Structure 1
Amino acid sequence: MTDPSKPENDDLPREAEETPNKAHRGIKSYVLRAGRMTAAQERGLTEVWPQWGLTLDAGRQDLDTLFGRSAPRVVEIGFGMGQSLIEQAERHPETDFIGIEVHAPGVGKLLDEADKRGLTNLRVYREDALAVLADCLPAASIDTLQLFFPDPWPKKKHHKRRIVQLPFVELVRTRLKPGGTLHMATDWEAYAEHMSEIMAEAPGYENTAPAETSPYVARPAFRPLTKFETRGERLGHGVWDLIYRRT
């Protein structure tokens, strides 16, 4: 892995300037799936992408320039079809959102919907999240990173493909502002336990859970309830939220 150039802000602490070189960008935490595209999804990718889409080729972003203002910044990895991210961006026009997703139908759907709703506080990468974090987002530049319902890779032989690994959370920490939060949610209890174990090893974080006996928090009101999650609740499936603050 090539180390990205350091940000220009010399006032940042040393640990915020450096990108961990252990992030295993050779291992993919996702599988690209082919699928049919709807007319709306095609429209999002062809007509709206030139306005709101971002690429690795653009390199390190100046987020104030990108959004034309200084504002709180939220990054969501793996937004799926974009329902949660769209809802958040519409509810919070004072906040800027960056979504990262590799699947074309979801990216197209999000962009089409954002355009129809007139949202201007949303940008999108169709790229590998680790590459975006390492090469495109400045150090100490985001207030929240959201990782909702990532692929749990339940088979033991596939656990190495889980995105939540120590190099990943160390990289996230360098991109969070001091006091910024990493918010994860999963409906697989074994993956929730894996997340809490990884975070217990990660330096520079504190758990926001109110009780020392459990690493989990109740679903915060600001996290939209998805159709997938609602269906799971009806079937008796659990959901575990974990929120850690960069110290």
Structure 2
Amino acid sequence: MSDSGAPESPEVPFRKKTVSFVRRSGRMSDAQERAYADLASTYLLDIPRDIASMSVHPSAQFIPAAAYGREAPLTVEIGSGQGHAIVHAAQQNPDADFLAVEVFRAGLARTMLDADKAGVTNLRLAEANAPEVLAKLLPPASVSEVWVFFPDPWHKVRHNKRRLIQPEFTPVIAESLRDGGLLRMATDWEEYALQMREVLDASDQFERAFEGEWAERFEGRVLTAFERKGQRAGRDIRDLTYRRRPRV
């Protein structure tokens, strides 16, 4: 899945952080073009922008109860890719609401197309930089779960700094989560899994929600092409689950 964690271009002058994703805006299929045009008004949030195209303006507001027409637990998936995991989850859990955050437009189109075919109404999409979605768009403590499944591992040492799970990002996730909310992560890159665990173990806002070395596989995560690819390559899939500590 793509890594919705930074601006799409390293030339954007006002951003100081190194980009952690490359916005892949390649050609969409005819079906994806139609899906984006026909279904965006139903699924895609209209997000006011700041300077960059994937930014979120500080004045932006997202009220979950208004967007979904009800009060329900909200799960946010960062880097939802083509939406296989979150569409499945939304279909299987009609009493919960879901928000997919992605910058890959073809993936968003595919997500909307599959959601429409499945009759899913409890899903919305944000085409934006994930840290800004969590920090600016979502109300504090409004999220029950945050999912980061198979983010870009940036496995070359010189690119490790582009990884999404970094010490400076955990407070952003923590602010969006309600007390007791969960952060679920999965990766097929051992070294990245170790980094994730080190970063979260060092945070005073999170505690482990698992025993032993790794968490059990999250049953709510449908098997995706990313996971199958890792398995075919002989890489072990590692899950981590952390709980948001109560605010003082």
Counterpart in the other structure of 2:36: 45
Distance 1:130 1:90, change over 3 A: same
Instruction: Answer with 173-182 or 31-40: which moved more.
Output: 31-40
- Cα RMSD over matched residues? 1.5
**Other structure's SS at 2:26 match:** coil
Q: Across the two proteins, how many residue pairs are aligned to each other?
A: 221
Q: Which runs of 5+ in 1 are unaligned?
A: 1-23
**TM superposition shift of 1:59:** 1.1
Counterpart in the other structure of 1:230: 228
Give the TM-score, by structure 2 length.
0.85
Counterpart in the other structure of 1:121: 122
Answer whether contact 2:25 2:106 (CA < 8 A) is retained.
Answer: no
Answer whether contact 1:180 1:245 (CA < 8 A) is retained.
Answer: yes
**TM superposition shift of 1:25:** 6.9
- Asked if residue 32 in structure 1 is aligned to residue 33 in structure 2, the reply is no
Give the TM-score, by structure 1 length.
0.85
**TM superposition shift of 1:234:** 4.0
Which residues in structure 2 correspond to 1:52-91 (within 5 Å)? Answer: 52-57=43-48, 59-91=60-92
- Taking the aligned partners of 1:76 and 1:113, their CA distance within structure 2 comes to 16
- Taking the aligned partners of 1:165 and 1:68, their CA distance within structure 2 comes to 34
- Taking the aligned partners of 2:215 and 2:24, their CA distance within structure 1 comes to 33
- Taking the aligned partners of 2:177 and 2:192, their CA distance within structure 1 comes to 23
Distance 1:88 1:25, change over 3 A: farther
Amino acid at match of 2:149: F
Identity of aligned residues (%): 39
Which residues in structure 2 correspond to 1:1-247 (within 5 Å)? Answer: 26-57=17-48, 59-211=60-212, 214=213, 216-247=214-245
Amino acid at match of 2:75: V
Instruction: Answer with 231-240 or 139-148: which moved more.
Output: 231-240
Q: Which runs of 5+ in 2 are unaligned?
A: 1-14, 49-58
**Other structure's SS at 1:192 match:** helix
